[in-house]
Amino acid sequence: MIKCLECGFEATRLQWTHFKFNCTGKFKNSKEYMLAYPGAKVVDPAVAKSTAITLDNLIKKYGAAEGQARWDQYRAKQAYSNSYEYKKSKFGWTPDQFDTYNSSRAQTLEKMIERHGEEIGVKKWKEYCDRQAYTNTKAYFIQKYGDALGTEKYIKVNKEKAVNNPEILAKKLDISIDDATDIIISRQKQFFTSNAEQEFISAIESKIGRLEHTTAHRPFGKWSSLLNTYVVYDIKHQDCIIEFNGDYWHANPKIYKDTALIRGKLATDIQHRDMLKLKTAQDLGFRTLVVWESEYKQDKELTIQEVCKWILNESK
């Protein structure tokens, strides 16, 4: 039970009807009441916990399938009701009004002090920061969902806000560096592919079927300790790695001298990096093949035949 600090009435929940009709008449609703009594509760903590709209409560009430469906619907409704489109259609808000509204809802130390006074505000701010920090930990997810599911959800939640360094991400999520590399690559919206490379990939797939990984479809990469970064390969199929190298971008040694400057880099430096990239794949047990764009354009049909033969023969 909680007590109304204005009139002394006790109940498990103080609704707007109490303040408007049964209290002293000073307040029209609970919002006005809480402004006058910062930190006052209007719902008993136990009641609030049991009636809150959470995934766990919905599953307990409706079962796993129906509970999950209702939770998804609730989240979608909440997301829309907090959007600018909704506020504009319902209240006629301008973008500036919407920004002001969002700013007023933000949890900051200044706002905590403004609402609750300096002593209580600072205390609540620290509690809020500690709570936010804990809810972003792996331990929190495991406590809430169990070991296997908690770990899975923790990694999923952190994918979008993960850093782009696999070593840091692996340590942060307590996963392997290969798994961290996969997460980072999966977050990339697209990788550059020339028209010639796209044509090259399509020609191969017309002969032997869909390739497992290409830069345009499920990009494949690995962490390279030789380069101290992750690398993405143009084509990965079974145990084969193929790099389709543009003559300019990769400083084709048949065209460019070692001392040539390409995009501010020496041709030899570009070639050395490509060599280490291939060696990374070779050390992992992959067979590697480099196809130069100029060689492909010189005889496209013959190049495709030889590449397809190499893939099929070498992967047996």
Q: What is the pLDDT of residues 241-292, one digit of tens each?
A: 999 999 999 999 999 999 998 878 899 999 999 999 999 999 999 999 999 9
Residue where the block lists tokens 């084709």: 252
Give the pLDDT confidence score for residue 214 in this predicted structure.
92
Give the pLDDT confidence score for residue 233 in this predicted structure.
94
Q: Which two structure tokens, joined as six digits, stand for 231?
A: 């690398």
Give the pLDDT confidence score for residue 242 in this predicted structure.
97
pLDDT tens per residue across span 2-13: 899 999 999 888
Task: With beta carbons less than 8 A apart as the criterion, state whether 230 and 239 touch.
Answer: no
Give the pLDDT confidence score for residue 158 in this predicted structure.
66
Q: Using alpha carbons only, give the angle 176, 179, 184 rounded to the nearest 5 degrees.
A: 125
Task: With beta carbons less than 8 A apart as the criterion, state whether 259 and 203 touch.
Answer: no
The separation between CA 66 and the C-alpha centre of its own chain, rounded to angstroms, equals: 27
CA dihedral (232, 237, 238, 240) positive or negative:
negative
Confidence of residue 315 (pLDDT cuts 50, 70, 90): very low
Reply yes or no on domain 195-314 having CATH 1.10.260. Answer: no
Q: Which two structure tokens, joined as six digits, stand for 139?
A: 């331990």
Task: With beta carbons less than 8 A apart as the criterion, state whether 240 and 247 touch.
Answer: no
pLDDT tens per residue across span 26-44: 898 888 888 888 888 888 8
Average pLDDT value for residue range 216-230: 87
Give the pLDDT confidence score for residue 45 in this predicted structure.
80
103, 107, 88, 100: which is closest to 80 by C-alpha?
A: 88
Q: Which two structure tokens, joined as six digits, stand for 198?
A: 């796209």
CA count, 13 A, side-chain hemisphere, 270: 21
* Top-ranked range on mean pLDDT: pick from 101-105, 143-147, 307-311: 307-311
Measured between alpha carbons, how far is 87 from 205 in angstroms, rounded to an integer? 50
Give the pLDDT confidence score for residue 195 in this predicted structure.
87
Give the pLDDT confidence score for residue 185 in this predicted structure.
80
Q: Which two structure tokens, joined as six digits, stand for 21?
A: 């009709």
Segment among 80-84, 162-166, 190-194, 235-239 with least mean pLDDT: 162-166
Confidence of residue 105 (pLDDT cuts 50, 70, 90): low
Total residues belonging to the chain = 316
Average pLDDT value for residue range 80-90: 80
Residue where the block lists tokens 């707007």: 16
Confidence of residue 308 (pLDDT cuts 50, 70, 90): very high
Q: Is 0.75 topped by the overall pTM?
A: no
